[in-house]
Amino acid sequence: MVTLCDCHVHLASYDADDISGVLQRAESAEVQTIITAGTTVDTSQRCIELAGAHSSVYAGVGVHPNRLRGFLKDTDLDALERLARSPRVIVWSETGMDYLPSAPDQHWQEQSFREQIRLARRLRLPLVWHSQVPEPNTPGQHPETVRILREEHAEDVGGIMHYFQADEATARMAIAAGHFISFAKPLLRQPHQWDIARKLPLEWIVLETDASPQPYKPNRADWTEPKDVSLVAQKLADLRGITVEEVAEATTRNLLRLVTLST
């Protein structure tokens, strides 16, 4: 049977009584592995609890750049390290850099990103990283993010450039630095990504939804959920002229080159 993996979800953001439905719908869509990302120490803890309660769910820990209110403190790093030693934690997620004008101070972000890369390397956890620029279809400041990853030798653990929306040169730069490219639902609606998705080596592609609650969508059925990774897989299959089974098989195999799923 061909199964799909959603390598980046914010399951901890859903109401507790909503989660079993989200997971059931994912299972019905053959999405059998879900990696849920922390954005703070508290949500990282919640991710581990969810991973302990549901066999299809694995956890990441990390502090999202947009959640910073200052430099990342040693006490937070110590707490993250303690959490990251849980057997259900298989990635460092989510960290990275955000270059939108509204994002927190760049010095806070860079210190936090570098410290988290160092901790991830020490704990041998691959990094799922965020890099957001004001104009998605451009290199923007993505080379800055990759430079930090290189300077901190993130290639020792590898990782994933999550929620890809950038240009082809950025994708190739990330791959050359040892990181997978993760496509999400923007692939369905952003034509600039289609040629990139056709041309990148399939063995460096993984899939995600980055799903979190979307209360601004009045119809609950319209919220993005892990089940929608099947739509991203189908789109990638159509673009590359291969079957969705081939996409599922390749992207699952790729993720398993990066992480080990305990049984």
Report the residue closest to Zn ion, judged by CB: 210
Whether the CB-CB separation of 7 and 208 falls below 8 Å is answered with yes
In angstroms, give the least distance from the CB of 2 to Zn ion. 25
Minimum Å gap between C-beta 174 and Zn ion is 16
Q: Does 208 bind Zn ion (CB under 5 A)?
A: no
Look at the alpha carbons of 250, 256, 259, 263 in this order and tell me if their dihedral is positive or negative: positive
- Which residues sit opposite 98 in a β-bridge? 132
CB of 188 to Zn ion, least distance (A): 18
Whichever of 32 and 39 has its CB closer to Zn ion, that residue is 39
Span of 13-21, 110-118, 120-128, 202-210 interacting with Zn ion by CB under 5 A: 202-210
Of residues 39 and 230, the one with the C-beta less far from Zn ion: 39
CA separation, residue 229 to residues 29, 55, 163, 244 (Å): 9, 18, 12, 11
| Nearer to Zn ion among residue 132 and residue 193 (C-beta) | 132
Site for Zn ion in 90-129 (CB under 5 A): 94
Helix or strand (DSSP H, E) at 252: helix 244-258
**Least Cβ distance, residue 128 to Zn ion (angstroms):** 8
Q: With residue 35 as reference, give the H or E element that holds it.
A: strand 31-36
**Whole-Å CA distances, 203 to 131, 163, 170, 207, 215:** 21, 17, 17, 12, 35
3-class state of residue 151 by DSSP: helix
Residues within window 23-82 making contact with Zn ion, judged by CB under 5 A: none
Q: State the alpha helices, DSSP H only, in 86-177.
A: 106-123, 142-151, 168-176
Helix (H) or strand (E) run with residue 95 in it: strand 89-98
How is residue 10 written in tokens?
């914010």
d(CA 127, CA 150): 12
Among residues 94 and 167, whose Cβ is nearest to Zn ion?
94
Q: Which is nearer to Zn ion, 98 or 167 (CB)?
A: 98
**Closest approach of Cβ 210 to Zn ion, in Å?**
5
Residue with tokens 């789109």: 235
* Contacting Zn ion within 76-95 (CB under 5 A): 94
For the CB of residue 66, give the shortest distance to Zn ion in the complex, in Å.
10
Choose, by CB under 5 A, the member of 6, 210, 225, 228 that binds Zn ion: 210
Name the one range near Zn ion by CB under 5 A: 106-114, 146-154, 179-187, 208-216.
Answer: 208-216
For Zn ion, the closer of residues 209 and 252 by Cβ is: 209
Size of the residue set binding Zn ion (CB under 5 A) = 2
C-beta of residue 111 within 8 angstroms of C-beta of residue 77: no
CA–CA gap between residue 4 and residue 233 (Å, rounded): 8
Nearest approach, Cβ of residue 65 and Zn ion (Å): 11
The residue ranges that bind Zn ion (CB under 5 A) are: 94, 210
